[in-house]
Amino acid sequence: MFGPVDLPSLSGVLRGVVELCRRGDCSVGQVAKDFDLTETAVRDWVKQARVDVGERDALTSDEREEVARLRRENRRLREDVDILRRATAFSTSSRGPGRVPMASAEASQPFRASLLEPAQLGQALGSL
């Protein structure tokens, strides 16, 4: 059984494979065969190494990591917003049967009993 993977040595192997391909001593296919890797993986590593050193125009490894992190954060924030929307909808719909939320114009106006006629005042007080 294999032991735990040592990431610094793994990146060292990756660098070694890429360097072999970049020097031109061996073809990508030969390096892949020697290290028991797929040619596609080795080609991708070589291409990314060229981007990282500025030979090609594309996202560097650091930029790719940042984009991935931002996408994860964006997804989490969207989920949070969805949960808050659902909670708000639930809390406003659970005010009880027959209770209708006041319109915004009515809610912003304070109740003034002095503006009511005596009959209207009696009605308002009776409904409480």
* Angle between helix 61-93 and 39-52 (nearest 10): 100
Q: Is 20 contained in some domain?
A: yes
pLDDT tens digits, 90-127: 888 766 555 555 555 555 555 554 555 666 656 666 65
Record the pTM.
0.45
Q: Is 99 contained in some domain?
A: no
Q: Is 43 contained in some domain?
A: yes
Q: How far is CA 26 from CA 15, 17, 18, 59, in A?
A: 15, 10, 11, 27
Q: Is 81 contained in some domain?
A: yes
Range of the domain at 63: 59-93
Between 103 and 79, where is the model more confident?
79
Q: Is 107 contained in some domain?
A: no
